[in-house]
Amino acid sequence: MIRYHRALGGLLALVAVAGGTACAPGDAPSAWQTSANAGTSDHSGVRVLLHQLTTKDGGPGALVALRGRAGGAVLTSGVADVKSHAPMRADSRFRIGSMTKPFVATVVLQLVGERRVLLDAPVERYLPGVVRGGGNDGRRITVRQLLQHTSGIPDYLDFLKPQDVLDNPLAHYDARDLVKLALARPRVFDPGAGWQYSNTGYLLAGMLIERVTGHPYGEEIRRRIIEPLALRQTSVPDDASQIHGPHPRGYARPGKDAQLQDITALNPTVAGASGSMISSGADFNRFLDALLGGELLAPVQLQQMMKTRPTGNRDGGAYGLGLESHPLPCGGLAWGHDGGIPGYQTTGAATDDGSQATAMVNLYLGGTDAQNNDMASAVQTALCESRS
């Protein structure tokens, strides 16, 4: 549903499932684990899609976490480890890639509410001299444009070699160097004149948070969102390459006929404020519920976040400030984001009637439309089945 085929941009546009099952169908057990009263639906549509994700689409394991007024459920399929064939756990933690962006945007909008940041002020006011080069003028680019992908700043991931990242997964990247990599190229369009997904804007948003608060963006996310909401399975790992707590192995397939590569250990500074976070399905659902329910932002800031512009997606998708909307086949809108980072693909969304669904898969490299479409369909189906 919330798919740009650019989750973390040009580098990670290659990071989806590459085809071929990771284990034989008989090695991919399915489970339905209920964490609360799941309501009257048996979620049969979601189960079918989960099975497709771990057989036809080639993902080793998949998980969908559901949450609504009637209760919650976690459905899993496949394996967390292709060597041990350990099943996917309901409380699994994943790298969530660009699903980090709603967290970052929320912190910026909280700063707007505190009158420490102006949405339509130039980036130059907060990061003097940073947004220069390649025709990118910080005096014209605004904070809003960074968050909405309308700045025209190129995506730094278009200029990193994917294989270099896979060959050196523990390498540290400095956000300023990645920003400079993008700013050395010509802008894609004049500020505000178009829409194109750019992870560079969120690296800059993270830098802005640090400049305004005096603390790294991760520390502000922890203080303002993770701790108040008691998101115990969510973290901003900064420079740490390990995932703490229960988690599936993350896999990549560098080429069509290549063997699976275990990419679980990864230095997330390659993504930084554009996609470094770790979370679980249940935690991300709780975050979306709190965000759309007004627990994190005042009404005027939430309204700004949900003020969208079309992205060009054929299904009518539109992007706000770190949050995207898509029409649901059963009516109404779903609000959320997707994410991709080597080893893991995720997508999560919620409706305004209080239902949330997050899907996660532990193979992301290669780019098949089938996995993208089935991930989207799993979340859509879960949200629509919750209404039955």
Is the pLDDT at 367 greater than 70? The verdict is no
Q: What are the backbone angles phi and psi of residue 209, rounded to the nearest 5°? A: -55, -45
Is the pLDDT at 350 greater than 50? The verdict is yes
- DSSP lists the bridge partners of residue 357 as 66, 349
Q: Which residues contact 192 (CB under 8 A, 6 or more apart)?
A: 142, 145, 150, 152
Is the pLDDT at 35 greater than 90? The verdict is no
Decide if 1 is inside a domain. no
pLDDT for residue 32: 32
Structural domain including 236 reads 9-385
Two structure tokens written together for 366: 């290669």
Length of the chain: 388
Q: What is the CATH number of the domain that holds 102?
A: 3.40.710.10
Domain count, the chain: 1
- Phi-psi region at 294: left, alpha or beta (left = phi > 0; alpha = psi -120 to 50): left
Pairwise pLDDT comparison (370 vs 211), residue with the higher score:
211
Task: Give the distance, in angstroms, between the CA of residue 33 and the centroid of all CA atoms in the same chain.
Answer: 24
Pairwise pLDDT comparison (154 vs 388), residue with the higher score:
154
Task: Please state the rounded mean pLDDT for residues 27-52.
Answer: 62
Residue with tokens 């969530």: 96
Decide if 164 is inside a domain. yes
pLDDT for residue 1: 27
Q: Which long-range contacts (CB under 8 A, 24 or more apart) does 162-166 make?
A: 162/11, 162/12, 162/14, 162/15, 163/254, 165/11, 165/270, 165/342, 166/252, 166/254, 166/261, 166/263, 166/342, 166/365
| Catalytic site residue from 98, 235, 274, 377 | 98
Pairwise pLDDT comparison (79 vs 132), residue with the higher score:
79
What does pLDDT average to over the chain?
A: 87
pLDDT for residue 20: 29
Q: What is d(CA 282, CA 231) in angstroms, rounded to the nearest whole number? A: 9
What's this model's pTM, rounded to 2 decimal places? 0.91
Q: What is d(CA 102, CA 291) in angstroms, rounded to the nearest whole number? A: 9
- DSSP lists the bridge partners of residue 7 as none
Q: How far is CA 232 from CA 53, 97, 100, 280, 339, in A?
A: 27, 18, 16, 9, 20
Q: How many CB atoms lie within 10 A of CB 10?
A: 18
Kind and range of the H or E element at 326? strand 324-327
Decide if 4 is inside a domain. no
- Give Dmax (Cα) for the chain: 59
Decide if 240 is inside a domain. yes
What single DSSP character describes residue 250? P
What does 130-163 look like in DSSP terms, one character per residue?
TS-STT--TTT-BHHHHHHT-S-PPPGGGGS-HH
Q: What is d(CA 346, CA 246) in angstroms, rounded to the nearest whole number? A: 17
Task: Please state the rounded mean pLDDT for residues 255-278.
Answer: 93
- Residue 71 and residue 43 in contact, taking contact as beta carbons nearer than 8 Å: no
Q: What is d(CA 350, CA 342) in angstroms, rounded to the nearest whole number? A: 25
Active site residue 41: no
Percent of the chain with pLDDT over 90: 75
